Structure 1
Amino acid sequence: MKTDKIKVHFTDNDLVAPTNPIEVNLIGAGGTGSKVLTALVEMNYSLNELGHAGLSVRLWDDDIVTDANLGRQRFAECEVGLYKSVALINRANRWMGTNWKAETMKFGKDSLGRLPEHTQAAIYISCVDSVKARYEIAEILKELDSYRAYRNRAKYWMDYGNSQSTGQVLLSTIGNIKQPKSEKYETVANLPFITDEYGELLKQSEETDNTPSCSLAEALEKQDLYINSSLAQMGCSLLWSLFRQGMTKNKGFFHNLYNFTTQPIKVA
């Protein structure tokens, strides 16, 4: 009896066995981004211990730490008034002796349509709170896909998004990733952007109130205390599997913290 092959995506070879640390652009240092950075610190140390070159992270965010950020986001009272990206990167570098970088600006084009310096990376992780920001990132990544000469060519985009108690993470390829021949699996070279695959859903779910929260209590009305950390851990577990297993059968998941369910999104 003939059975259909399981669809999988094999990780780009340059990520599995790199000669230099993999460049990562982490976009957003709020509720999710601050937790993702901690997970990347752990991942980098573990990869190094396994003989891998590890990660080189650049964190983008122009926000300042306020009292409303304490508790739900990974900031201390002594960091109020600092740029979020600077506070987090300084802490990570002191903790692990890394030389990661902070950008105190939004990730995006300037008024003349130019990309900022250090835009190029192999992996992009977005933890942004608006559909508009996602579309802007998608536009930039499609443009970067044509930059073939760089060693750390743009290859993957992982997007995080959530509402009060639900969220999703989706892994995309930036262009096609060359796949090996396989008798056991059906290989998939291209994983579509969230803006292409779920564009209409994104627009329908756009929050109408994007005003900043003035207190932790107000912030918790918009996002549950543990939805960000829950998504961060599971999303980084997917990224970890790309390095350790060299392949994935899932390109993301839908997560509901209210009823404790998670639905994987299969590679298709």
Structure 2
Amino acid sequence: MAAVQQLITTLIKFKTPDHWLSNAPRIVVIGAGGNGSEVVDCLAQFHHAMISLGHKHGLHVTIIDDSVVREPNLVRQRFWPCDLGQFKAVSLANRYNLLLGMSWEGLPYRFPSAQTAKAIENADLIITAVDLPSARVSIGACQSVKRQCMWLDLGNGHRHGQVVFGGIEKVMRSQYPNVLDAYPEIPTLKDDNSKSCSAAASIRAQDCLVNRAVTTAGMSIVWELLRYGETAKHWLVLNLETGDQMSYPFPAPQPPKRKRPIKKA
């Protein structure tokens, strides 16, 4: 009984792999819109902070998105009028490469595709910032990821959002469940590819600060991994309307079931 109680009360943590400290962690951001562009901005800040703190390489980031910047994107996303008509992924990569002297990559392709396969295979952390169930299912079914590759998924509605951090590979996923385990209905959902036709419509669909709030919550997990070497955060849920934010740890491992002795006839 004491052993079972210990399992329940022990906080499960994911430890940052050693090679994140000796090399540049390879982070892939899928989606460069409301959440994705905020994610890239956070990663640029993290890169600069890591270099300042003595990390030799900082971060290597690859951004995947086949969309171009449109006028409605200028309200909730980190783009400006000078970016109009450019591929979002390329625009963001070029911006931070010029500002910080990096060699981040922007891939203007849809995920999944042959052009994005290598980035996924080499990733240490995949961050999904797309509201497409099919993209999440594709990540969960991916067989070519590194064993320790982790997955941070960001999603939001009009004034609420959620963040789920977990594994992809089978063994890692059993220890650290991912967004498909948190929301098992995802594979049954259909993609919504509709786009806002104006800035006003964009704000009606998603409030002005929801992307920044969701991203700040999610990227706090990434910063803990980079700065403190571990995190116990698995699932975050926030509501801008009420101001509430709730955090849930990784589930404790289940104790092995005892086999009942077979009664002799």
Length-normalised TM-score, structure 1: 0.83
Among residues 224, 227, 231, which one is paired with 2:214 in the alignment? 231
Paired position in structure 1 for 2:123: 121
- The reply to whether residue 39 of structure 1 matches residue 42 of structure 2 is yes
Contact 1:31 1:73 (C-alpha < 8 Å) held by counterparts? yes
TM superposition shift of 1:49: 1.5
Q: State the alpha-carbon separation in 1 of the partners of residues 216 and 116 from structure 2.
A: 30
Greater length-normalized contact order (CA 8 Å, ≥ 6 residues apart): 1
Equivalent position SS for 1:229: helix
Contact 1:235 1:252 (C-alpha < 8 Å) held by counterparts? no
Which is helix-richer, 1 or 2? 2
Q: State the alpha-carbon separation in 2 of the partners of residues 173 and 199 from structure 1.
A: 15
1:108-135 CA distances to partner (integer Å, 9 max, x unpaired)? 145xxx9633332111000001212211
1:16-61 CA distances to partner (integer Å, 9 max, x unpaired)? 522x211111100000000010000001111112222321000000
RMSD across aligned C-alpha pairs, in angstroms? 2.4
Contact 1:29 1:59 (C-alpha < 8 Å) held by counterparts? yes
Q: How many residues align?
A: 244
Paired position in structure 2 for 1:130: 132
Structure whose alpha-carbon radius of gyration is higher:
2
Length-normalised TM-score, structure 2: 0.84
1:70-85 aligned at under 5 Å gives the runs 70-85=74-89
Q: State the alpha-carbon separation in 2 of the partners of residues 163 and 32 from structure 1.
A: 11
- The reply to whether residue 165 of structure 1 matches residue 159 of structure 2 is yes
1:71-97 CA distances to partner (integer Å, 9 max, x unpaired)? 211111011100001111111111111
User: Which segments of 5 or more consecutive residues in structure 2 lack a partner in the other structure?
Assistant: 252-265
Opposite residue 133 of structure 1, the aligned amino acid is A
Paired position in structure 2 for 1:197: 182
Opposite residue 23 of structure 1, the aligned amino acid is R
Distance 1:60 1:16, change over 3 A: closer
Among residues 84, 87, 91, which one is paired with 1:87 in the alignment? 91
Opposite residue 100 of structure 1, the aligned amino acid is W
User: Which segments of 5 or more consecutive residues in structure 1 lack a partner in the other structure?
Assistant: 148-152, 178-187
Q: State the alpha-carbon separation in 2 of the partners of residues 240 and 155 from structure 1.
A: 16
